[in-house]
Amino acid sequence: MQKISIDPITRLEGHGKIDIFLDADGNVANTYFQIPELRGFERFCVGRPVEEMPLLTNRICGVCPEAHHMAAAKAADAVYKVDPPPTAKKLRELLYSGFYFTDHTTHFYALAGPDFVMGPDAPIAQRNILGIIHKVGLEIGGKVIQARKYGHRIVEIIGGRKIHPCTSIPGGLTKGITEEERHEIEEMGRWGIEFAQFSLQLFNDIVLGNKEYVDLILGDIYTHRTYSMGLVDDQNRVNFYDGKVSVVDPEGKRLGKYAPSEYTDWIAERVEPWTYLKFPYLKKVGWKGFVDGVDSGVYFATPLSRLNAADSMATPLAQEQYEKFYETLGGKPVHQRLATHWARLIEVLYAAERIVELATDPEITSPDFRRVPTEIPTEGVAIVEAPRGTLTHHYKTDQRGILTEVNLIVGTTNNYAPISMSIKKAAQSLIKNGAVITEPMLNMVEMAFRAYDPCFGCAAHSLPGQMPLKVTIRDVNGEPVEVLKQHCE
């Protein structure tokens, strides 16, 4: 049987590998997407004091340490059964909104945007953030850099550091913010709302105004009808920091909502011997393999799934965009994975509006930012929405708060099965009867991947440009018959 290895998937170098097997007729028999890395946090956090988890689990991911910092702090609250004061929760959510704003913006402009703004057929040399700057204007480059700086600044003000924040502890935070800092954050948030609206307008003009792009978004190749997952508040509105996890089926019907403490009733993770990463699925539905449909427990957890799983957005401008999104794309739920990029921009707007809401909250500068736990620590689960998916931290401790068991279901991991399916579908659509489509095929596979903003090695998405792919096609004896390259001079 012929084997095509996409190895390395650069920018996931050392962190991802795709093998495509062809049958005797030259059609795709199967694909394997392997994650070649493991560090083992679930084991070596055992024995550590639970209050250190916000610091230790930061180091799972240097791109989204804020997500682990928050999930860990909330799980530690739960272990001690302590309810932090409102100011503490608001400060944490404010930090988190600043992080979301930066992270999503970077993804859109540096990685996803080029395919749409420049077009998937544009010359490789133009399909990057520099291409966007040339097309839209130099000013945009400065704005993207500004957006990055502002988000990091908010993280630094509340979290004490730009990378790997250090201030969340069980019961709250080690520090509050001053009126000066509050004012600075509010100003950045107001700028952020304008920038988010500008970005949505850009998407509207360039993408939605172009029938070719709209057809590409709505086309079958990037469509998967799976369950959608996302955290919602008590009014079923999208929330990144707290709430219950909503799950809707491929028809848009809500299967249910679960509290963090109920997650083991809902989620199971399939173990395969050929990869270091597990495949989460909905336990209530069951694992039926890498397939779509209402009987398959495969779900996805991305900006698109969060919009599908919620009833609305919690801020007015984002809500307007939410309504427009579903009107334009033919109602809920949306299964076309390329629409994720649009959903991501709607979340950028929500994050910016939320920054201003929280920064203007009268309680935000209160010195009442922590509560000392009084209960004996036992067990706790917490969930936040990481930009790349629902993030669950589950801890058990002894009576001193020393960890005895740790379970983590990390953002991108949720999407391991759907990403594998998207890769397979793209390969099947593009490789037929031994006929190989060259460069467009590689970018099309890449686009299937990129919608999920995967972060397997934890930093896959941060720098401008494309994901180079190299595909080696081998005959039955393992001899290379053809080598295709893209972005690999």
Partner 1 sequence: MSTNGKPKFAMYWAASCGGCEIAVLNTGEKILDVDANFEVVFWPVAMDAKYKDVEAMPDGSILLTLFNGGIRNQENEEIAHLLRRKSQILVAFGSCACEGCIPGLANLSSTEQIFKAVYDSVTSENAQNYRPQFHTTMPEGDIHIPKFYPVLRTLDQVVDVDYYLPGCPPESHQIAAVIDLVIQVLNGQASLPLKGAVIGAGQSTVCDDCPRQRNVKTIKAFRRIHEVEELDPELCLLEQGIPCNGPATRNGCGALCPKAGAQCIGCYGPANGVVDYGARLISAFASVIDSNDPEEIEQILDQIPDPAGQFYRFNLAGSLLRAGKPAWKQ
How many residues bind partner 1, per CB under 8 A?
95
In whole angstroms, the minimum distance from the beta carbon of 23 to partner 1 comes to 8
Select 26 or 465, whichever has its Cβ closest to partner 1.
465
Q: What is the DSSP string of 228-259?
A: EEEEE-TTSBB-SSSSEEEEE-TTS-EEEEE-
Query: Taking CB under 8 A as the rule, does residue 49 contact partner 1?
Result: yes
Helix 65-80 and helix 138-159, axial crossing angle in degrees, nearest 10: 30
Query: Taking CB under 8 A as the rule, does residue 1 contact partner 1?
Result: yes
Taking Cα atoms as reference points, which of 171, 380, 375 lies closest to residue 261?
A: 380
In whole angstroms, the minimum distance from the beta carbon of 430 to partner 1 comes to 18
Which of 166, 208, 214, 291 contacts partner 1 by CB under 8 A? Answer: 166
Query: Taking CB under 8 A as the rule, does residue 401 contact partner 1?
Result: yes
In whole angstroms, the minimum distance from the beta carbon of 349 to partner 1 comes to 24
Select 212 or 272, whichever has its Cβ closest to partner 1.
272
425 C-beta neighbours (distance < 10 Å), count = 22
Select 165 or 333, whichever has its Cβ closest to partner 1.
165
Considering only residues 317-346, where is the footprint of partner 1 by CB under 8 A? none
Considering only residues 175-204, where is the footprint of partner 1 by CB under 8 A? 175
Bridge partners (DSSP) listed for residue 19: 5, 32
CA 159 to chain centre: 21
Query: Taking CB under 8 A as the rule, does residue 170 contact partner 1?
Result: yes
Query: Taking CB under 8 A as the rule, does residue 51 contact partner 1?
Result: yes
256 C-beta neighbours (distance < 10 Å), count = 14
Query: Taking CB under 8 A as the rule, does residue 171 contact partner 1?
Result: yes
Considering only residues 261-320, where is the footprint of partner 1 by CB under 8 A? 263-264, 267-276, 278, 280, 287
Query: Taking CB under 8 A as the rule, does residue 44 contact partner 1?
Result: yes
Q: Which residues contact 210 (CB under 8 A, 6 or more apart)?
A: none
Q: Which residues contact 327 (CB under 8 A, 6 or more apart)?
A: none
x/- mask, partner 1, residues 454-473, rule CB under 8 A, reads: ---xxxx-xx-x--x-----
Select the span of 39-47, 129-137, 194-202, 219-227 touching partner 1 (CB under 8 A).
39-47
Q: How many whole angstroms separate alpha carbon 388 and alpha carbon 399? A: 34
Q: Which residues contact 97 (CB under 8 A, 6 or more apart)?
A: 154, 240, 351, 352, 354, 355, 358
Considering only residues 63-92, where is the footprint of partner 1 by CB under 8 A? 63, 65, 76, 80
End-to-end CA distance of the chain: 29
Strands 172-173 and 227-232: unpaired
Taking the alpha carbons of 409, 411, 414, 420 in that order, is the dihedral positive or negative?
negative
Select the span of 11-19, 89-97, 241-249, 310-318 touching partner 1 (CB under 8 A).
11-19
Which of 26, 27, 56, 291 contacts partner 1 by CB under 8 A? Answer: 56
